[in-house]
Amino acid sequence: MKKILIVDDEKNILLVLKIALKKAGYETILAKDGLEAIEKAREQKPDLILLDIVLPKLNGYLVYEALQEEPKTAKIPVVFISAKSEKEDIDKALDLGGEDYLTKPLEKEKLLQTINEILERR
């Protein structure tokens, strides 16, 4: 079973994504802030990370950069998820190396399609 780390500071979003991904056959790991995200990525080595940008302690961009600096987490694909829909935010996330950028509110079908496509490529 593929593991997905969901990083978001909103409990409702974590819960909705956890349920949707479990129904789709994925194991989920949850993190509520940037530091917890890095810690859980190191410990659990997920197959993919859904990463919000606006987070307590460390923002999503900094989390991504920290993960890229470590050999054991650098190859984990990251999909940024955010309510920020400005072109600059999307460009920054993709320029850093994010696999994709999905804006909230997330469409379940689009989310699952994106995850499946990325994991199939790996």
Residue 76 φ then ψ, to 5°: -75, 125
- Which structural domain, as residue segments, surrounds residue 30? 3-121
pLDDT at 73 over 90: yes
pLDDT given at position 113: 97
Q: What average pLDDT does the segment 75-79 reach?
A: 98
pLDDT given at position 122: 83
pLDDT given at position 105: 92
The per-residue pLDDT of the chain, averaged, comes to 97
Query: How many domains in the chain?
Result: 1
| Collapsed DSSP state (helix, strand, coil) of residue 82 | strand
Q: What is the CATH number of the domain that holds 37?
A: 3.40.50.2300
pLDDT given at position 2: 97
Other C-beta atoms closer than 10 Å to the C-beta of 30 total 17
Output the pTM of the full model. 0.97
